[in-house]
Chain A
Amino acid sequence: MSDLLPLLTQQLFNGLSLGAIYALIAIGYTMVYGIIGMINFAHGEIYMIGAYVGLVTLSAIGVGSGLPLPLMVLVMLIMAVLVTAVYGFAVEKIAYAPLRNSPRLVPLISAIGMSIFLQNWVATGQGARDMAVPALITGSFNFTVGGSDFSVTAPYSRILIIVVTVLMMIGLTLFIKYSRTGQASRACSQDLRMANLLGIDTGRIISITFMIGAMLAAVGGVLIALAIGKLNPFIGFIAGIKAFTAAVLGGIGSIPGAMLGGVLLGLAETFAAAFISSQYKDIVAFLLLVFILLFRPTGLLGKPEVEKV
């Protein structure tokens, strides 16, 4: 039984790094939902585009350019964040802003259209096949647990995911809590119309929300591309649905909920893959989504919603 502990630790680590990515994407869903009450269906695609921008930047610098590694990763992240912020802005202006007062289904369908468009936008622009990402961050940190012979492998690229995610979360929490824009965005998520009456430029806050969500997803995209080493234009779809599951699990509209939900989903998925079957790991995520919505639609940290006439 002494092998169980390292195995558990290994899965815990894998689950945490996967969950960190889900959490980064989930925040985008939850923030947008919190303010305008709509599922941003195209959000998964933004994550995918972030990963592509990272790869384009890396190719522009050149792997063998002699630039120090941390700087190279930083430049990739910054470029991805800047470009996807523009994408987030444009998506909101094109597919959501004109439909602010339409029936619920209308913006949802336009968002699905946007998601299909963005997938194929990248597929036609950069090719639909798998694209290899040069392995920038190699090596791993190995350690043993509990005197077992088996060592736990923690690749540096995955450690980076966890570290950067934690930093982003802290940054976002501080931003939401203390900055003027953050306060305005909290006001908007409580009551959009009232916030508008009190002189908050709600259109601007909605744009910023889409941009922040896009930026966080892009960070996730770049980091996962570096860790996995390949990407294609269709990775955003499944990742998006899973991140949405994470957002619902944590309670949609709640930012700490999205963080928690992401980590829990990542853990659930890795453990299911390790102990049940790796073929069924996607099913686990979907089943989890169905069951949360059935038994606790408000999620773990969400507030119950009252339907008004």
Chain B
Amino acid sequence: MNQNLKNAAIASLLAGVIIAPVYGLQILRRGQETYLQPEWKMILGGMLAVFVIQLVNAWLRQRRAGKVAAPSRFRIPAISDKLRHRAIMVLVLFALAWPFFTGRAQVDIATLVLIYVMLGLGLNIVVGFAGLLDLGFVGFYATGAYTYALLYHWAGWGFWEALPLAGLVSAFFGFILGFPVLRLRGDYLAIVTLGFGEIIRLLLINLNEFTGGPDGISGIPKPSFFGYQMVRRSMDGTPTFHELMGWSFNSQDVVIYLYLMALVLVLFTLYFTSRLIRMPIGRAWEALREDEIACRSLGLNPRNIKLSAFTMGAMFAGFGGAFFAARQGLVNPESFTFIESALILAIVVLGGMGSQLGVILAAVLLTVIPEIAREFAEYRMLIFGLVMVVMMVWRPQGLLPVKRPQVELES
């Protein structure tokens, strides 16, 4: 007990040192002079909290030490295939019904969620299935968004013509960037992809004449409905969607339409990825993630397999980016910072790497919670970073881990 007290005291002292210069002593400026405003409550409160937590922790550990290793606490079981299919069906039905019984703001947030689901599913291929940590995913997202924006700006293309090309261009970027770097080991790969993401962003900022620089491109049109525009009055005299249907124009309809478009794209992504993972290529991704050397000795070509995952992930990021550009109506490099990559990565990690249902759940959580807790908006990223650390320490397999296909030998 004495030892525990001593440890807790040291820990709380260290906590004091950590808190003091950041939260405890606020730097204020009056004219030329800077001075400090101490916040003793902050420092002492933090120290006390750490002290108590340390003591409770030590006490728990001692209690547990006596017993035989208790069956792991908080267990969330891995869900079976059947349950997962049902859950996805229910989710899809729910998502379809969503815009018809909620308001405009909720539909708008739901559209954002769907964009993140799409991005999460794309990154899930790279990180979750193939086990390649890609920290520059936002680069491909930006590529897709700018492909549509630039095609519209310079050539007047519409959303639907640009969408496949956005995916293709992003996939191509993924391919040429992935080609040289995929022989690197995990953590090097992470840093290089991060570098690529930053290079793409810096290029977008600096190629002023072409991309509009830091201001980006604005006035990007929303998707049309088989050639019928979703606007109050069309520019070129072609009939608009509400004229076709004989409705009066309602901006709520546009929001709902965008939402349904996003849903279609997500469903396509979901279907496509869940088929892929059952194909030989998907199995190869998972095998590669588990053991690269074993894969190589079984005659798989790691580089090609990795490259296919990388390219495929980039393609979905491109789709997501094009849709993002259409929804926002403007793109600028600000939207494509590293934090965005980290957010998408957190969605994959929080959901459980390789788990599609998990990705959906995590995308909902990470998009909706900040919207609800607006008064804590300042602390959003702080909590977000903390959640990433805590998840890795406490539950690295994520909220809804997948049950891997496996055979066990009876002994």
- Point out residues on A near B: beta carbons under 8 Å: 38-39, 49, 52-53, 55-56, 58-60, 62-64, 82-83, 86-87, 89-90, 94-95, 98-99, 102-110, 112-126, 131-132, 134, 237, 241, 244, 248, 279-280, 282-283, 286-287, 289-290, 293-294, 297, 307, 309
Residues of A within 8 A of B187 (CB): 38-39, 104, 108
A108 touches B133 (CB 8 A): yes
Q: Is B199 an interface residue (CB 8 A)?
A: yes
Which of A49, A105, A112, A307 is within 8 Å of B388, CB to CB?
A112
Nearest CB on B from A304, distance (A): 13
Contact mask for chain B residues 366-392; partner A; CB cutoff 8 A; 1 contact, 0 none: 000000000000110110111111011
Question: Do B18 and A90 have beta carbons less than 8 Å apart?
Answer: yes
Tell me the bound Cα distance from A119 to B386 in angstroms: 11
Check A56 against B396 for contact (C-beta < 8 Å): no
The answer to the question of B257 belonging to the interface, with a C-beta cut-off of 8 Å to chain A, is no
Interface residues on chain B, number (Cβ under 8 Å): 60
In the bound complex, residues from chain B placing their C-beta under 8 Å from that of A105 are 127, 131, 133, 186
How many Å lie between the Cα of A268 and that of B193 in the bound state?
A: 21
User: Does B181 sit at the interface, judged by CB under 8 A?
Assistant: yes
The 9 A-B residue pairs with the shortest CB-CB distance, nearest first, are A113-B388, A117-B385, A116-B385, A110-B392, A125-B22, A120-B382, A286-B195, A113-B389, A120-B381
In the assembled complex, how far is the CB of residue A121 from the closest CB belonging to chain B, in whole angstroms? Answer: 6
Task: Answer whether A293 and B192 are a contact pair too, CB < 8 Å, given A113-B385, A120-B381, A283-B199.
Answer: yes
Contact B36 A56 (CB under 8 A): yes
Listed A/B pairs (19) with beta-carbon separation below 8 Å: A59-B35, A83-B18, A87-B18, A89-B14, A90-B14, A102-B396, A112-B345, A112-B388, A113-B385, A113-B387, A118-B385, A120-B382, A126-B26, A241-B195, A279-B202, A283-B202, A289-B192, A290-B195, A293-B188
Q: How far is the CA of A218 from the CA of B82 in the complex (A)?
A: 54
Q: Are A104 and B186 neighbours in the complex by a CB distance under 8 Å?
A: yes
**B69 at the binding interface (Cβ < 8 Å):** no
Q: In the complex, what distance in Å separates the CA atom of A226 from the CA atom of B153? A: 45
CB of B360 closer than 8 Å to a CB of A: no
Instruction: Given the known inter-chain contacts A62-B35, A112-B342, A297-B188, please indicate yes or no for A282 contacting B198, CB distance below 8 A.
Output: yes
* B21 at interface, CB cutoff 8 A: yes
B17 touches A83 (CB 8 A): yes
The answer on a CB contact under 8 Å between B34 and A282 is no
Give CA–CA (A55, B32) in the complex, Å.
14
B261 at the binding interface (Cβ < 8 Å): no
List chain B positions with a Cβ less than 8 A from chain A: 14, 17-18, 20-23, 25-27, 29, 32-36, 127, 131, 133, 135, 180-181, 184-188, 190-192, 194-196, 198-199, 202-203, 205-206, 293, 338-339, 342, 345-346, 349, 378-379, 381-382, 384-389, 391-393, 396
In Å, the complex CA distance between A304 and B362 comes to 40
| C-alpha spacing A105/B23, complex, angstroms | 31
Contacts of A64 in B (CB 8 A): 33
Give the chain B neighbours of A244 by CB distance below 8 A.
191
Residue pair B34, A124 in contact (C-beta under 8 Å): no
Q: Shortest Cβ distance from B293 into chain A, in angstroms?
A: 5
Report whether A59 and B27 are in contact in the complex, using a CB–CB cutoff of 8 Å: yes
Closest chain-A Cβ to B111's Cβ sits at a distance in Å of: 25
Sample of 18 more A-B contacts, CB < 8 Å, known A108-B186, A113-B346, A282-B198: A58-B34, A59-B34, A63-B33, A64-B33, A94-B389, A99-B392, A99-B393, A104-B187, A105-B127, A105-B131, A107-B392, A110-B389, A113-B389, A116-B342, A125-B26, A241-B198, A280-B206, A289-B192
Is there contact, CB below 8 Å, between B206 and A120? no
A286-B181 Cα distance, complex, nearest whole Å? 13
Give the complex CA separation of A126 and B36 in angstroms: 11
